[in-house]
Amino acid sequence: MKSELNFILLLLLIANPGLAQKNFTKGKIITFNKDTLSGYINYKEWIKSPNQISFKDDPTQSARSYTTSQIAGFSIDSNKETYHALNFDIENLPRSSNKIVYFNMKEYSNRTKKIESVSAFVRIVSDGNVTLYHYVDKDSEPHFLLKKADSLIVLVYHIVETKHYSAKFREYRSQLSKLLTESCKPLSIHHTEYYVSSMRKLIDNYNECFNSAIKSIAPQKDKGRWEYGIIAGVGYTKMTHAMANPFRYIEVKGNANITPVGGLFLNYVFARGRGKYALLNELHTYQTRSSVTYDDEHFHYQMHYLGLQHLFRYTFFVGKPSVYALIGFSYATIIKQNSTITRRDGSVEKLVYLPWAVRNDEQRAIAGIGLSHKRLMIETRYYRGNGFTTGANATPPNNRLDLLLKYNFGRIN
C-alpha cells in the first residue's frame, strides 16, 4: 500500500510542472481590417475548435486573450495552420450510436431540430476559389463548412439510429454537387467520406481549376509519424510466491529490489487527433530479484525476462514539455533463470519450469504517465503481473514500478 501511495505522489510530481507550461510559438493574429500582427500564440494543437486564444507581442511580455469578437483569425508560422473566426448555426445531432434513437425514418424527418449558434476559431483545410473549414464541437463531433463567395454553408452528415437499423445520411454530397458545378474536371463527390483527408482531396482538386487566378493557402497536411529509439531505466519490484504445504497454499512476500530495465520502441503517432493519440510497441527486457525464507528454507529468485509490450498513449497536454498517459499490456518469457532454493539440510536446488508450479512467462497490465520534450521522454509506469506461480489454487500477482528514460530517433513535430 505504501509503495502504491508513493507511486501516485510521483505521478503528481511529474504532471504538475508540465501542466503549468505553455506552448507559445511564433504566429500572427488577423484583424478585421485584414492586417496581421506578428507575435507568439499559445498553440495547443486543438482537437476541439477554440473560441479564445492567448497572444504575446514578445515572449517576455504578459499574454493577452482574444475571442472571435475581437479578431478575424490567426495563423501558426511553423505549420501554416490558419484559423478564421466564424459565426454559424448548426444542428446539435450526435453521431454516436444510441445517444438518440428514432422509431423510424419518418420520426427522424419530422424531428424538432436543436439548432446551436456557434462562434469559434475554425481551422482551414483547403483554400482557394472555395474555402473548406474543419470545426470540432464540444462533444468532439467533426463538422465541415464550405465558404463560397460570401456564403458559409454547413455540410450536413448524420448517422440516424432507429430501433431496427442504422443509416448514414450524407446530405453533404448533394450539397457539394450543387456548390462545385464550375469544376474544370470530374470530381468524385459521391465517393468522398466525411473526414479530413477525403474532404481535403476533393476541395483541393476543385480549387486547382482556379489556381492561376487565386493564390491559395497551403496548410500543412496532417500526417502520421513514426517514433523509434531506445529505453533505459530502473524498476522496483515486490514479489509474492505461493508456497505449498500438505493442506493449502500460503502466500509469502519476498523483499523488494531495484533492477535495470532496457529495450527498444517503435511508436506510431496518428495524424487524426492532431498527434495526441499513439500506439506504442516495445521490445522490453527486465529482471526480477527477491529473497524470502519460509519453513527454514531460503528462496532466492533471480529471473531475466524478454517480452513485447503494446500500449496506447494519449497526450492530454501539448506543450514544452508535453504530458501524456499510458495504458496497455505486456507478455514476457524468462530467458535466463538463476533462481535457487536452499533446503534445510543446506543443499541447493535450481528453480526450474514446472507446468503445475512455476510458469516460464508473465503477463502484465500497465498504466503510467510521462513527459516529453523534443526527443527525450521520461515515464513512470505501474505493472501488475500474474507472477511466476501457476496452478488453480494460487496465482499471486507481482507489483512493479519502473522509471524510464527514452530517446526518440524518429521525426518530431
The answer, yes or no, to whether residue 393 has pLDDT greater than 50, is: no
Query: How much of the chain exceeds pLDDT 90, in percent?
Result: 46
Query: Helix, strand, or coil here: 324?
Result: strand
- Which tens digits make up the pLDDT trace of 324-353? 999 999 999 989 888 888 888 888 888 766
Radius of gyration of the chain (CA): 29
The residue whose grid cell reads 424531428 is 111
Residue 49, pLDDT score: 93
Tally Cβ neighbours within 10 Å of residue 23. 16
For the stretch 200-238, what's the b/e string if a residue is b when 16 or more beta carbons lie within 10 angstroms of its beta carbon?
A: bbbbbbbbebeeeeeebeebeebeeeebebebebebbbb
Under 8 Å between Cβ of 390 and 357: yes
Residue 282, pLDDT score: 97
- Which tens digits make up the pLDDT trace of 271-291? 766 678 899 999 999 988 888
The answer, yes or no, to whether residue 22 has pLDDT greater than 70, is: no
Query: 258 pairs with which residues across the strands?
Result: 236
Q: Distance (Å, rounded) from C-alpha 95 to C-alpha 377?
A: 36
The answer, yes or no, to whether residue 385 has pLDDT greater than 80, is: yes
| pTM assigned to the model | 0.61
Average pLDDT for the chain: 83
Q: Distance (Å, rounded) from C-alpha 370 to C-alpha 405?
A: 10
- Which tens digits make up the pLDDT trace of 143-185? 999 999 989 999 999 887 777 777 788 999 999 999 999 999 9
| Amino acid at the residue 242 | A
Q: Distance (Å, rounded) from C-alpha 168 to C-alpha 157?
A: 8
Residue-level length of the chain: 413
Residue 46, pLDDT score: 87
Q: Distance (Å, rounded) from C-alpha 133 to C-alpha 152?
A: 10
The answer, yes or no, to whether residue 124 has pLDDT greater than 70, is: yes
Name the residue among 218, 235, 208 with its Cα closest to residue 380.
Answer: 235
Mean pLDDT value across residues 190-208: 92
Residue 352, pLDDT score: 67
Residue 352 grid coordinates? 526450474
The answer, yes or no, to whether residue 24 has pLDDT greater than 90, is: no
Residue 404, pLDDT score: 96
pLDDT bucket at 99, cuts 50 / 70 / 90:
low
Query: How much of the chain exceeds pLDDT 70, in percent?
Result: 81
- Which tens digits make up the pLDDT trace of 85-97? 999 999 877 666 5
